[in-house]
Amino acid sequence: MTDLFVSGPMFLAILDRDDPGHVRAAAAWVAALDAGQTPVTSSYVVVEACGLIQSRLGLGALRSFVEDMLPVVDVRMVTAAQHATALVALVASRRADLTLVDCTSSLVMRA
């Protein structure tokens, strides 16, 4: 069984019915939970998601995220070593569309 890794934008899409990816994200979330999977994310994604949700959907949605969604998610803390590796990868990538959260997420998924 493959774990569902949840990104910040996916958390936002699950909560925002007007998001173009809402139906797909919500279906993946429900399917994972129905299959007995525990969704996985990183501590950096939680920070990113809190910012996205609070700024775009408001405090009510943020409360729902923190109180209803996060308790069923396996939040994996980014280690100092993963942080350092991700920083090197980010700078080496020379890509403006890649973030530190993206780089740490790929390391957390492989750990």
pLDDT, tens digit, 9 for 90 and up, residues 42-68: 999 999 999 999 999 999 999 999 999
- Grade residue 1 by pLDDT with cuts at 50, 70 and 90: low
Range of the domain at 68: 8-110
What is the 3 state secondary structure string of the chain?
CCCCECCHHHHHHHHCCCCCCHHHHHHHHHHHHHCCCCCEEEHHHHHHHHHHHHHHHCHHHHHHHHHHHHHHCEEECCCHHHHHHHHHHHHHHCCCCCCHHHHHHHHHHHC
Instruction: For residue 3, tell me if it sits in a domain.
Output: no
Q: How confident is the model at residue 5 (pLDDT cuts 50, 70, 90)?
A: very high
Answer yes or no: is 2 within a domain. Answer: no
Give the count of domains, the chain.
1
56: CATH: 3.40.50.1010
Q: What are the tens digits of pLDDT across the range 83-106?
A: 999 999 999 999 999 999 999 999
* Closest by CA position to 101, among listed 20, 45, 49, 54: 45
Residue 1 lies in a domain: no
pTM: 0.92
**pLDDT-based confidence at residue 3 (cuts at 50, 70, 90):** confident
